[in-house]
Chains A and B, each alone.
Chain A
Amino acid sequence: MTALMTRARALPGPLLLGGAILGVSLALATFPGLFAPYDPVAFDYNALSAPPDRTHLFGTDNFGRDVLSRVIHAYTIDMQIAFFSTIFSFVLGTIVGAFVGYAGGLAETIFGRIVDAVITFPFLVLVIAIVSVLGPGLINMYIAVGVVGWVFYARIIAAEIVVQKRLDYADAGRAMGYTPLRVIFRHLLPNAITPAIVYLMTDMALAILLGSSLGYLGLGAQPPTPEWGVQIAEGKNFMTTAWWISVFPGIAIVVTGLGFSLLGDGLAEVMRTRK
């Protein structure tokens, strides 16, 4: 136990703080019902746009819905957004990047052109264009993000594999007669994946920003689903009279985003010191 404590203390502060924030976020996302004091979609006509007090810590919105409960229930949707908008890009990008980096030559050249083309494309504009065609909603948003997002992971992994494949242990694997597949996925990839995981953390923070932006524009999660961007949009016309409707969901976005980027920074720091 004490050994565990000393090891925990040796970890960088950002990692612990980020981990704590995300731990709480995950708990709220998984069991919102345990933490939310009220039903997130129940109207209370006796408390319309009530300011924060002891019965409603974050106040109520213009329909009398409890803002705190809506913010808590929105964790489920927004953490899902963080996960599903990134995981396909991460898996596909890692596989493509590993092959491209290992093969080199023509594959690398062609891939380089694809990266150039995708990187210059305004990401949000593309996602909005795709969502406008497929229709609003979260699934279509995941598709739109996945179409472009994998390129960034593939670029990171390819750059790492190019370095790793020239090292002695890669030669050793090949000399043992292992298939390229086995060398790539069992030997090279475990040594190349860390930067992609660090980027995954940043990307999850960006995904929450993107998802809530689309929700705000009416192109992502649809009302009355509690989602932070949707909630901010719902409260935007009451900013001068009932600021709490929009302000608290925004704080949830900032804190969660901060959690992901702190965890990413902390991971990067741990990896640097290990090297």
Chain B
Amino acid sequence: MHELSIARALLRQVERVARTHGHGAVRGVTVRIGALSGVEPGLLASAFPQAARGSRAEGAALTIEAVPVRVRCDDCGAESEASANRLVCPVCASPHTRLVAGDELLLVSLDLEKADDV
């Protein structure tokens, strides 16, 4: 269960970004999680409120954009959706593929309360 570590790292990052934008509370946090990132969206969602307690993101809504796995084939050029444990080209079965999406682990954006409301 490393999602709690990930949630804590996320909160540190959120605090750092929020600090550069004034004193308002964080109302929303959007992250992008790929199916091959090693992070389970459901576990992150349940770890987040705990990690956020006492921070300015306490009570913030966490939005998780789940990203499916996509591979591009170096041999036939096809770009296709793939499953996490079958990353060879679904079109020509070549093992020479590159992951074009699916390993994302990104803080996309914050929704910050406007400072003048505080």
Whether A associates with B in a native complex is no
- On A, residues with C-beta under 8 Å from B are none
